Each structure stands twice: as structure tokens, then as C-alpha cells.
Amino acid sequence: MATPDYQGKCTDNSDIATILSSEGVEFLLSSEGKVPLSSCYGKKLCLYFSANWCRPCKAFTPQLIQLYNSLRNGGKELEIILVSFDRDDNKFEEHFKCLPWLAVPFDSNLHRRLSDKFHVDRIPSLIPLSSDGISIEEDLIGLIEDYGAEAFPFTRKRREELKAIDKAKREGGKLEQLLAHEERNYLISRDGRQTPVSKLVGKTIGLYFGARWSPPCRSFTAKLTETYDAVMSSSAASSTFEIVFVSTDRDLGEFEVNLGLMPWLAVPYQDRATRQDLCRIFDVKEIPGLVLMGPEGRPVAANGKAVITSYGAKAFPFTESRIGELEAALREEGEALPARVKDRKHEHVLKLDMAGGYVCDWCKQQGRFWAFSCDVCDYDLHPTCLEIPDN
């Protein structure tokens, strides 16, 4: 996504007429013709720097149109003014005729001057003009992509309110507020069964963010399934654990194929708003991602993916204290092993290393953590496969 380099510059919206007039602009354009600059007085103004040839602009503009129409129909005093970076008048007209807001008359020199004035170095950029001096200091496009119409009136105060709401949901311990709403109070399984979210309250929950199109997700799904099956096979733990899939698949068909390979529950694909909200609330920037939450409904592990990859079902219930126990046991195991050793099966001296993952060159099985490795050649050995020659 392209983002503007906007430094929080605040401009009283009544000054926009002065700014544009000083640049030789006498009027704005609407779908019906010329509009006086004074028509913007008293409204929340945003300058939208965009172009019809720009792919990120084409991706964002439909969302902005939906937001604009929703807010205007709801009685909000919002106006957007297009500052076009199209290549000529014809391209500008083709671009502008599809937009419901106003525009500065096409003039490439003027548009460059305006972009310099508002510190815009890429498009799309949406710059709010504030009359109360409480303008935000971050990318407004990102704020709208995250919150939609809820971001209005695009002030720092509103941004902080929304962040506080997200924090309360993330740390408030109320699972039903995260995973359900008035229109849907259930999750689904691969066979179509609906499970009320209330049935998950009091359990350790893994929120799994992933997609079928991602090879790393397919690999991690296999590891997570192995962990899930191991935990659920324990009569003591099976009733206290569940995973909920939060899909970032490209379409419903891909989601259904993906869920069909998973033994756990999922947020329905059709509930796009909840899926997006969960990604934002837990700051999921890449997939696969796993958020582990304790019985109180609060996150218990900083990096769920790393916990599962490293320890699997041994880490259940995935608390910091349990991870600490495993790490302590691992250190003790390493302290009991020799730092350097000669193995009868290999010609060089081997040293003790910590490895995230490897294949033992003797037994050909996957290994993790401690390994005896060769500095001379590519050779790794399980500690259990070590054979010390007789003196």
C-alpha cells in the first residue's frame, strides 16, 4: 500500500480558499460543473492525491467512495477534494467522472505545488484539513483501511479512542466481544456445525491467522494440527483448548478448501468485518500468525507461532511460566552435554550448537534445539546418536 509522508500539518478549512486562490484557483469542480471555493466552509475537508493510472489508488478509491457516501448520507459534513496526478486533461476527466466528490481543476504544476505544501511524496494520499488543530500525525489512508467510517472525523482524539477500544477488546477478557456480535454468536467447523462462542469461554484459545495460498501457512497448519491433535488426545486438556481460524483467503471457495483440512473452528468467511477487526486488534502484519489466549480471555504468549514451532503440545497451556519451564529444561540438557566431542561415525570434531531445526545426518530424522555440528563440513548429529570412540 502506498502511504503519504504527512507530518501532521494542520490547516483551518476556511484557509483552503486562500491557499487555492493564491495558486490561481478560482473554483472547484463537481459532477455538475463549477463550484465556488466557499462551498467548503464549515465542512471537514480532505485533499485526496490520486491518479487513474495508479494501481494502489484504484484499490483504495472504492473504499473511500463507500465511506464518503455513508458519512454524507448520515448527515456528516465531509468534503473531499481530488488533487489529480493524471497525465492529461482527458485522463483526468475519465478519472473524475467516476468520483462523487469535488476536484481542483487539472493543472500539473499546481498539483506539484500542493503536494509539496502538504508533504506528499506518493499516492494515494488523503490529507485531512483540521479547523480545531487536532489533526492526526499518521497516514489517514491506513486509518480508514483499519476503521472505515468509524474513523471520522479523522482527528488524533478519534484515533486514540479507537485504539483504546481495540486495547479493551484485546485485554478485556471478553471472548464474545472479540468473536461474536449481534448478528452472529457462533463459529463454524468444517462439517458445517455451528458452535456458540459462549462454549469457548474459559478455554485456552489459539486465534490462527492464515490462508491456503500461502506455502508457509500450509506448512504451519500441519504443525499446528499435530499440536492440536496431541492436546485434544489428552482427556485432561481436550475440554480446555480450542483453535479458531481467522481466514485471509482470497475467496470463499479457497476458505472452504482450507477449513476442510482443519479439525478446529473458524470465523465464517462471510463475516469480513470481524476477520479484519481481529487482524487489526492483534496487530497481525504477516501470516501465518497465532495469538494464544488464556482461560481469562487475554493473550498469554507473545509469539504463538514460535511457541508451537519450538515446543508443540509440550507447551500447553502456553503460559509464560510453562514456556519458562521448557526453556529451563532445555538449558539443563545443554549443560549436561559436552561442548566439543569426537564421534566414531565422523572424521572431524563436532561442537555443540543450538539449532532451530535440522536433519540428523546419521538417523535422517528431524531434530530441534541441541545438535552436534561440524565446522569443516555440513554435518549434524542428534545428541542421542552420538557414539564416543573408546580411548
Final residue in a domain of this structure, among 261, 286, 318: 318
Answer left, alpha or beta for residue 204, where phi above 0 means left and psi between -120 and 50 means alpha. Answer: beta
- The verdict on 297 and 185 lying in the same domain is yes
**What sections of the chain are H helices per DSSP?**
16-22, 55-73, 89-96, 108-117, 140-147, 156-171, 175-179, 215-232, 252-259, 272-281, 304-311, 320-335
Range of the domain at 84: 14-162
- The verdict on 235 and 301 lying in the same domain is yes
- Asked whether residue 374 is domain-assigned, the answer is yes
The pLDDT profile of the chain, 391 residues, written as one tens digit per residue, is 343 333 444 444 446 777 778 777 889 999 889 999 888 888 888 899 999 999 999 999 999 999 999 999 999 989 999 999 999 999 999 999 999 999 999 987 888 888 888 888 889 999 887 644 445 555 689 899 999 999 998 888 899 999 999 999 999 889 999 999 999 999 999 999 999 999 999 999 999 999 999 999 999 999 999 999 999 998 778 789 999 999 999 999 999 999 999 999 999 999 999 999 999 999 998 999 999 999 999 998 768 999 999 899 999 999 989 999 999 998 998 999 999 999 988 999 999 998 777 899 999 988 888 899 998 988 999 999 998 876 5
| Beta-bridge mates of residue 372 | 352, 381
- Asked whether residue 167 is domain-assigned, the answer is no
Report the C-alpha dihedral over residues 384, 386, 389, 391, rounded to 10 degrees: -70
- Asked whether residue 6 is domain-assigned, the answer is no
Final residue in a domain of this structure, among 121, 140, 162: 162
- Asked whether residue 123 is domain-assigned, the answer is yes
Assign residue 234 the CATH number of its domain: 3.40.30.10
- Structure confidence at residue 133 (pLDDT): 41
- Asked whether residue 284 is domain-assigned, the answer is yes
- Structure confidence at residue 20 (pLDDT): 79
Final residue in a domain of this structure, among 137, 162, 187: 162
| Per-residue exposure over 146-162, b if at least 16 CB sit within 10 Å of its own CB, e if not | bbbeebbebbeebbeeb
- The verdict on 146 and 49 lying in the same domain is yes
- The verdict on 280 and 192 lying in the same domain is yes
- Asked whether residue 307 is domain-assigned, the answer is yes
- The verdict on 57 and 179 lying in the same domain is no
Short-list 311, 317, 258, CA closest to 293: 317
- The verdict on 69 and 122 lying in the same domain is yes
- The verdict on 24 and 96 lying in the same domain is yes
- The verdict on 283 and 378 lying in the same domain is no
Cell numbers of 238, please?
481436550
| Beta-bridge mates of residue 299 | 293
Instruction: Give the count of domains, the chain.
Output: 3
Short-list 243, 383, 224, 382, CA closest to 309: 224
The one-letter code for the residue type at 208 is Y
- Asked whether residue 76 is domain-assigned, the answer is yes
- The verdict on 305 and 201 lying in the same domain is yes
- The verdict on 203 and 251 lying in the same domain is yes
Q: Is the dihedral of CA 63, 64, 70, 74 positive or negative?
A: positive
- The verdict on 100 and 216 lying in the same domain is no
Cα–Cα distance measured from residue 31 to residue 47, given in angstroms and rounded to the nearest whole number: 17
- Asked whether residue 332 is domain-assigned, the answer is no
Q: What is the pTM of this model?
A: 0.78
- Structure confidence at residue 68 (pLDDT): 96
- Structure confidence at residue 6 (pLDDT): 36
- The verdict on 237 and 343 lying in the same domain is no
Cell numbers of 164, please?
483504546
